[in-house]
Chains A and B, each alone.
Chain A
Amino acid sequence: EAGVVQSPRYKIIEKKQPVAFWCNPISGHNTLYWYRQNLGQGPELLIRYENEEAVDDSQLPKDRFSAERLKGVDSTLKIQPAELGDSAVYLCASTHLTSSHEQYFGPGTRLTVT
C-alpha cells in the first residue's frame, strides 16, 4: 500500500513569492490534515478536511494561506505571499476515521524563505 505522497520535498523561495505544496493521501482515506512543524517543535495543525469539506481551519492564517481538496482526494496548500517566518516543514497526514485512530504522515515539504 502506497503511503502519503508529498511534493516537492524541498522548496527555497524569496519572501513575497507564492508557493504551493501538494499532497496525495493514502487511497480510501477520507480525512486529510495539513500540519506545520517549526524547527525544534512538534507539528501544529493548520487545517483538517473530511472528504472535500474543511471542517477545522481555525489555525490557518487565512490572510496568506489557502488550501483546497477538490474531489476529496488530493490537496494543495498555498502561501501567498510567503514571509520569512513561514520557513518550516509542512506535513500532510491522512486517516480513515471510522477504522483507525492513527494518522499516517507523508515525508513533508521543507520550505525555506530567504
Chain B
Amino acid sequence: AQKITQTQPGMFVQEKEAVTLDCTYDTSDQSYGLFWYKQPSSGEMIFLIYQGSYDEQNATEGRYSLNFQKARKSANLVISASQLGDSAMYFCAMGDSSYKLIFGSGTRLLVRP
C-alpha cells in the first residue's frame, strides 16, 4: 500500500533562513509523482512543486526545491530565504498512475521575525 510519512508535526524557522521539511514515501510502483502543497489558514491547498520518479534532477521552483533521494524514498522540501508569509501547513503527497493523490499528515511551519 502507498504511504506518505511526515514526521515533523511542527517546525520553527527564523525569517530569511532556509528550512527543510521531511517527507518519506512507500510505494511498489515504478512510476509515480511527488508533490508539495501549502495550506495557509484560509484553507486552500496551493501547489508548490512536483518531482517525477524518473526525473534525474531535483525540481526547483523559485525559493522551493525538492531534495529527491529515490533510494531512500525521501522527497524533502527545502524553502530558502524564509518569509513571514511562508507560515502555513505543508503537505507532501504522492500520485500514482491512477492520478489519485495520497497526502501525509502535514507539517506546520512557523516563521519567526
Contacts and interface: CB of A to CB of B under 8 A. Distances in A.
Interface of A: 31, 33, 40-45, 48, 56, 89, 91, 93, 95, 97, 101-108, 110
Interface of B: 4, 33, 35, 37, 42-47, 50, 52, 91, 93, 95, 98-106
B91 A104 contact: no
Given A31-B99, A41-B106, A42-B93, A93 B50 contact: no
Contacts, number: 54
Which DSSP category, helix, strand, loop or mixed, fits chain B's interface?
strand
A31 B100 CA distance: 11
Contacts of B103: 41-44
A95 B95 CA distance: 13
Given A102-B47, A105-B44, A108-B44, A42 B104 contact: yes
A97 B33 CA distance: 13
B99 A97 contact: yes
Contacts of B93: 42
